[in-house]
Structure 1
Amino acid sequence: MSRTPAVAAMTFATGAIIANNYYAQPLEAELAAHFAVPSSAIGVVLTLIQLSYALGLATLVPLGDLLERRRLVVLLLSVTVLGLVGVALAPSLPLLAAAAGFVGLTTVAAQILIPFAATIAPEGEQGRVVSTVMSGLLIGILVSRVVAGLVSELVGWRGVFVLGAVLTAGSAVALWRTLPVLAPATDLAYPTLLRSVLHLIRHEPVLRFRMAVGVSGYASFGALWTSVGFLLAAPPFSLSQGAIGLFALFGVAGALAARFAGRLADQGKAFPATGAFLALVALSWIALGLGAVSLVALAIGLVLFDFGVQGSHISNQNTIYALHPRARSRLNTAYMTSYFLGGALGSGLSSALYASHGWLGVSIVGAAFPTAGFLLWLAARRQSRLRV
């Protein structure tokens, strides 16, 4: 059967699903005002979403190798819809945080779809197919901020999460109708399945290297996007929620980088591309730091930053999926769990540093992570087993 409808559905769905984890970011100031709490309290909620997502990666994504994936994905998305309705109706910040935690936990369905895409891709085209699905995910992240800002201005912040519930439900229907039914890749018992993730980490140096590189990139990503909303909402810019959301579109370069990195991976050039992408992320913080006084500098920095972060990420994923085709969900579990723990680390540090040292503190820690990743890549150039 043709895989085109399935890939199209996965591309749309990954964007709609992952957007649910980012709707709150451009609404930080509005949520803080609505619940009468300091900005740091909203930062805690954003960090909780990331930590919940990491927990789902560690405990739910491995099921993609054990269970029938189409049924699993639709089940998880049903819970996501309920969580989004809970966020939209939450009368207090603790209840909103609890519902948001369920959303973060179950939106890992997107990370079951990505190795699923690699599995149904024709031989030699895994990089292209994975990057296509990932471009949907990246666009979803970007559009989520635009949608959140605009919808919030029109109908209030609660309407944002109602819309998210509708899009997620629609994605579940589309996936149920188009995804092929594939036999599970393993019949391991669940505890053994989870232990096998640790076995892969212990015995695959390439996986460990790519996990470390991923952490360096996404920690920087978390540092940037957790606090940039506060920067843009405060003087001298004082942008509206809608304008803050639109500003995120400068990161569309990330989607372009996904397709570019996918082609390089299919050509066997993932390792040198990774070094170039990491260097770009680190250097982009020069412009991002100047963004405290210049929107032009901030926009340039965002273009370079997202291109580098997402290019590195796609290079990492295509590399690890080639290690063990029948363990792709578990490989993705190992990689993405560390990836989002890195994001949570960057997000938490960003909230604290913005409160104490402003945008300069955020810029320093944001640049430190990809710099460390690039130094690690330089060291890996001497080891032939890692240059894949």
Structure 2
Amino acid sequence: MNTWRRLLLAVVCGVAVASIYAAQPVLEPMGRDLGVPAELTGWIVATGQIGYLAGLLLLVPLGDVVDTRRLIAVHLAVTAAGMIVTASASSAWQAFVGLAAAGLFAVVVQTTVAYAASASPPAERGRTIGVVTTGVVIGILGARIVTGALADVWGWRSVYVVLAALSLALAALVLAVLPPETRTSPVAGYRQVIGSLGGLFGQRAFLTHGLIAFFLFASFGTLWSGLSLPLADAPWQLNESQIGLFGIAGLAGALGAARAGQWADAGRAAPVSGLAIALLVLSWVAIAQLPWSLGLLIIGIVVLDFAVQVVHVSNQHVLTASHPDRVSSVIGGYMVFYSLGSALGAATTTAVFTAYGWAGSSLLGAGFATCALVVSVVGRHAHHLGFRGPAEHVGGAASGPSPRPRPEPEADIPTP
């Protein structure tokens, strides 16, 4: 896969994921306009995550059944429709319907990652996943910068109009630029793919990577879904554009981890991932200083986003290398944990902040990060004791490239 196609896929991921996270820096005006109580504004983001969860289970596995290129285009078009509904909403329930629909089909992100992994030679898979996944993080954090600026000038609804237009343009570009997918073996049926997805959740290594992702993104969501509330409050009292600029710090951290895919290709995914989880825990010490120091907050944000990106890329590299015959299903199943964790962080951080202030939110985020570290350590211990299934390598638990798995009866799906 050439550089331009990697970049196109990264942009697709960035725009699609932005549809879920665009509300984060404008929760207050969006909630006020739609009549959502302050303590429930976190559900504006969580609603998209719930739709995303359903899409991971029902839509992403379609990538193992049909032409992934066309699937990407269709999902982008329907995501655009959901954003148009949100932009035109006159009540909270209409906005929630639009957000849920956009979230459901925003799983085009994972279909795109699976396409990128399948279309790349094994020696370059980590690099490709790293580039494309960086687009995801840029979309999550860059949305904050763009959303804040647009909201200040034209209001929060303009954000969803712009994202809808970009999604439609990318759908046309994907069909024009990406080659049709070629399959060298018969395609499995949808029911067979969905059935095999359930079998993944019975594998210890898959569950370990998934639980790490769950707590990883619960910590991530705690920061980014709750950050606008204390920054808009005393003593800082920043506006939407100023709050959105903090996304630059997150982008710096994410881009700093751009080599994570190359580290994974070189067989260093596990030790680097373990170190990154430890850094995630430490980042909350600096983030907790928000009421007194924006400088320390920025340092904490950079470290947190660096850590999240490293672990996330490493996890996907290990799992796709271990299951090359069902990449879409593996990515979809793994991202269920991501979606649940992000929704948990988004839904709880606003309630905790309302009750206990930023100190409470910081303890919540640090607690989620600590849980990820515990899961990693327990997984490493189990690995050393020999409790491992086929191709089981746990972030922070093993080193070296992931071997091919032994055939598994419940996962007998032909290679795309």
Q: Which structure 2 residues correspond to residues 1-388 of structure 1 after superposition, within 5 A?
A: 3-183=2-182, 187-202=187-202, 204-382=203-381, 383-384=383-384, 385=388, 386=393, 387=398
8 Å contact 1:142–1:249 — kept in the other structure? yes
8 Å contact 2:41–2:350 — kept in the other structure? no
Deviation at 1:32, TM superposition (A): 2.3
8 Å contact 1:3–1:120 — kept in the other structure? no
Choose 255-264 or 24-33, whichever is displaced more. Answer: 255-264
Deviation at 1:38, TM superposition (A): 2.1
Percent identity (aligned): 34
8 Å contact 1:66–1:186 — kept in the other structure? no
Aligned residues: 386
8 Å contact 1:138–1:254 — kept in the other structure? no
Q: Structure 1 CA distance, aligned partners of 2:30 and 2:163?
A: 17
Which structure 1 residue ranges, 5 or more long, are not aligned? Answer: none
8 Å contact 2:145–2:245 — kept in the other structure? yes
Q: Structure 2 CA distance, aligned partners of 1:121 and 1:139?
A: 22
8 Å contact 1:11–1:134 — kept in the other structure? yes
Deviation at 1:345, TM superposition (A): 1.4
8 Å contact 2:42–2:348 — kept in the other structure? no
8 Å contact 2:40–2:351 — kept in the other structure? no
Q: Structure 2 CA distance, aligned partners of 1:258 and 1:105?
A: 28
Deviation at 1:257, TM superposition (A): 4.2
Deviation at 1:186, TM superposition (A): 5.8
Aligned residue identity for 1:379:
V
8 Å contact 1:257–1:311 — kept in the other structure? no
Q: Structure 2 CA distance, aligned partners of 1:307 and 1:108?
A: 23
Deviation at 1:348, TM superposition (A): 1.7
Q: Structure 1 CA distance, aligned partners of 2:189 and 2:100?
A: 27
8 Å contact 2:253–2:301 — kept in the other structure? no
Q: Structure 2 CA distance, aligned partners of 1:64 and 1:237?
A: 46
Partner deviation per Cα, 1:298-324 (whole Å, 9 max, x = no partner): 111101111111111111111101011
8 Å contact 1:134–1:258 — kept in the other structure? no
> Residue 129 of structure 2: SS of its match in structure 1?
helix
Aligned residue identity for 1:49:
G
Q: Structure 2 CA distance, aligned partners of 1:207 and 1:122?
A: 23
Partner deviation per Cα, 1:28-63 (whole Å, 9 max, x = no partner): 111122234322232112111111111111110000
Aligned residue identity for 1:80:
T
> Residue 87 of structure 1: SS of its match in structure 2?
helix
Q: Which has the higher helix share?
A: 1
> Residue 196 of structure 1: SS of its match in structure 2?
helix
8 Å contact 1:5–1:178 — kept in the other structure? no
> Residue 124 of structure 1: SS of its match in structure 2?
helix
> Residue 121 of structure 2: SS of its match in structure 1?
coil
Q: Structure 2 CA distance, aligned partners of 1:186 and 1:54?
A: 28
> Residue 67 of structure 1: SS of its match in structure 2?
coil
Runs (4+) off by over 3 Å: 2-5, 183-186
TM-score (norm 2): 0.90
TM-aligned CA distance change 1:186 to 1:22, over 3 Å: farther
Deviation at 1:200, TM superposition (A): 2.1
Q: Structure 2 CA distance, aligned partners of 1:276 and 1:143?
A: 26
8 Å contact 1:6–1:175 — kept in the other structure? no
Q: Structure 1 CA distance, aligned partners of 2:38 and 2:247?
A: 20
8 Å contact 2:17–2:109 — kept in the other structure? yes
8 Å contact 1:221–1:343 — kept in the other structure? yes
Aligned residue identity for 1:291:
L
Q: Structure 2 CA distance, aligned partners of 1:36 and 1:59?
A: 32
Deviation at 1:192, TM superposition (A): 2.3
TM-score (norm 1): 0.96
TM-aligned CA distance change 1:131 to 1:143, over 3 Å: same
Question: Cα RMSD over matched residues?
Answer: 1.5
Q: Structure 2 CA distance, aligned partners of 1:51 and 1:283?
A: 29
> Residue 21 of structure 2: SS of its match in structure 1?
coil
Partner deviation per Cα, 1:274-331 (whole Å, 9 max, x = no partner): 1111001100000011112221111111011111111111111111010111201110
Deviation at 1:137, TM superposition (A): 1.6
Partner deviation per Cα, 1:212-253 (whole Å, 9 max, x = no partner): 111110010111111111111111110010001111211013
Choose 256-265 or 139-148, whichever is displaced more. Answer: 256-265
Q: Structure 2 CA distance, aligned partners of 1:333 and 1:254?
A: 25
Q: Structure 1 CA distance, aligned partners of 2:186 and 2:257?
A: 30
Q: Structure 2 CA distance, aligned partners of 1:156 and 1:349?
A: 26
Aligned residue identity for 1:277:
A
Deviation at 1:356, TM superposition (A): 1.0
8 Å contact 1:50–1:343 — kept in the other structure? yes
8 Å contact 2:280–2:303 — kept in the other structure? yes
Q: Structure 1 CA distance, aligned partners of 2:188 and 2:118?
A: 19
Q: Structure 2 CA distance, aligned partners of 1:44 and 1:257?
A: 31
TM-aligned CA distance change 1:172 to 1:258, over 3 Å: farther
8 Å contact 2:216–2:368 — kept in the other structure? yes
Which structure 2 residue ranges, 5 or more long, are not aligned? Answer: 400-416
